Chain A
Amino acid sequence: MDFGFKLSPSSAVNLDTVDHARYDRLVQLVPDALTCIGCGSCSATCTAAPWSGMSVRKVLLGLQRGRDDEVDSMLSKCMLCGKCTMVCPRGINTRHLILTLCRLSRKGEVVR
């Protein structure tokens, strides 16, 4: 029956069920990714960010919160310039991280 309104999907992230296989695989390959403190300097300096919303910080967070579509969209905008690597206070090789991530399927398999 059409009531003219519907059940709205919840934006809440359920950590019990969220699939983070790709993140788990990533941190096996790039353990430094675990040390991100979410400071945002990568996004602040990012060449692509102002035009595309790319943010390494958000990519890492999105992977842990099941937001794969947003992650893939952001990754496709990266120009691999490496500015984010220069600025990271934790010394994460973010360029390497992005390249590694691009090779992983959503299930965490190395596909490329």
Chain B
Amino acid sequence: MIYQGKQKIWADYQKEIPDNHWFYVRSCIRQNFFPASEKYFLTICRDMLGRDIFESEHHTTCAGIAYHCDTIPQETAMTVVARQFALMTEAGYDNLVTSCITSFGNYCEILETWREFPELEAKIRENLWKACRREFEKPKYLAHASDLMFKLRGEIAERAKFQLVSRATGEPLRVVEHIGCHYAKMFPHKGVGGAEYPCVLSGMVESWGGRVIDYPERRHCCGYGFRQYHVKANRGYSLSNTHKKFESMEPFHPDLILTNCPGCPYFLDRWQYVIAEMNGKTYGQNGYGIPALTYEELAGLVLGMDPWDLGLQVHQVAIEPLLDKIGIPYDPARKYLGLDEKKIKTPGLPTSLKCC
């Protein structure tokens, strides 16, 4: 691996990310999958680093899942997105930051479509006006929330309480980065570092002390694929894609997987349980799995936030071995306490995959 070669490519795919004043749109599914990630994005960027990030309770789905599942036409998705733009305009913002990768891809695709077919944009403006009497400006800058965190990675590193380093050996942790497909594969120039060797996550990993692993199936989709996972008969196909990635990364012994998509960390986490139940195979050390984290969760850990406040107890793969490796303190007794400090239910243990 020639690191300078990647740096050369990264220099070609620089993306302008304004430093401040963002209109934030949440994901449909992330709050269920990773309940604290979006909250901690705001905690870190707004409260700790003092950025102005606004969100509106009137924001809805971007309709990306329905669009990708072929249940609505693109024009409908465009009108829904036009409404989000209207909310942004009404709030007085012109930088839009999305939490979801598919939303980001959807927004990019729509803006690109309007650029090529201005008559379609005019039609959508008319649709929106007829539907809800709203008007909008297009965002000046569109970023994914991981772009913004990439931009702020240095400020996070300055405030870091922990490094992505093994406490026992002093060696950097080996981190697999997994980029959501809709981040840059459709529009390579919209992603930090391009589509083949994106540096949006690897930049964070390196700033926070870890070492990135490049393995043969790095570019492979996690297998979620909307229509594939959502239909039970196709779910084996979805699983097989994740399995292929694990088989490929296994020889590198990754300590953790870092992701920037709603679906990927969910499937990279949960399928480890399913694979272990099906064929007894586990991919972490000593029968554990490999933790798959969102970038907000990882930033939170680096900044010294409590792992249970970050929602890491809802992951299938046990996080404790990673916390021990870095030397992050945690209270096992608090793992399954709810916000009111009362015990929520403790999950049952899998047959093969070791959990705490």
Contact = CB atoms under 8 A, between A and B. Distances in A.
B240 A1 contact: no
Contacts of A3: 235, 274, 277-278
A6 B278 contact: yes
B232 interface: yes
A1 B239 CA distance: 15
B244 interface: yes
Contacts, number: 31
B236 A5 contact: yes
Interface string A1-22: 1011111101000000000000
A1 B278 CA distance: 7
Contacts of A10: 240, 244
Contacts of B244: 10
B243 interface: yes
Contacts of B275: 7
Interface string B234-264: 1111011001100000000000000000000
A6 B351 contact: no
Main DSSP-derived SS at the B contact region: helix
Most buried by B among A6, A7, A8: A7
Contacts of A1: 277-278, 351
Interface string B272-288: 00110111000000000
B233 interface: yes
B235 A7 contact: no
A2 to B, nearest CB: 9
B213 to A, nearest CB: 21
B279 A5 contact: no
A102 B279 CA distance: 38
B235 A5 contact: yes
Interface in B221-240: 232-237, 239-240
B215 to A, nearest CB: 16
Nearest to B234: A5
Contacts of A7: 236, 239-240, 243, 275, 278-279
A5 to B, nearest CB: 4
A1 B277 CA distance: 6
Interface string A80-91: 000000000000
Nearest to A12: B244
A4 B239 CA distance: 12
Contacts of B277: 1, 3
Nearest to A8: B240
A7 B223 CA distance: 12
B229 to A, nearest CB: 10
A6 B244 CA distance: 14
B232 A5 contact: yes
Nearest to A3: B274
B116 to A, nearest CB: 36
Nearest to B352: A1
Given A4-B232, A8-B240, 19 more contacts: A1-B278, A3-B235, A3-B274, A3-B277, A3-B278, A5-B232, A5-B234, A6-B239, A6-B278, A7-B239, A7-B240, A7-B243, A7-B275, A7-B278, A7-B279, A8-B236, A8-B237, A8-B239, A10-B244
10 contacts: A1-B277, A3-B235, A3-B274, A3-B278, A5-B234, A5-B236, A5-B239, A7-B243, A7-B278, A8-B239
Interface of B: 232-237, 239-240, 243-244, 274-275, 277-279, 351
Which 6 A-B pairs give the minimum distances between C-beta atoms? A5-B236, A5-B235, A8-B240, A1-B277, A6-B236, A8-B236
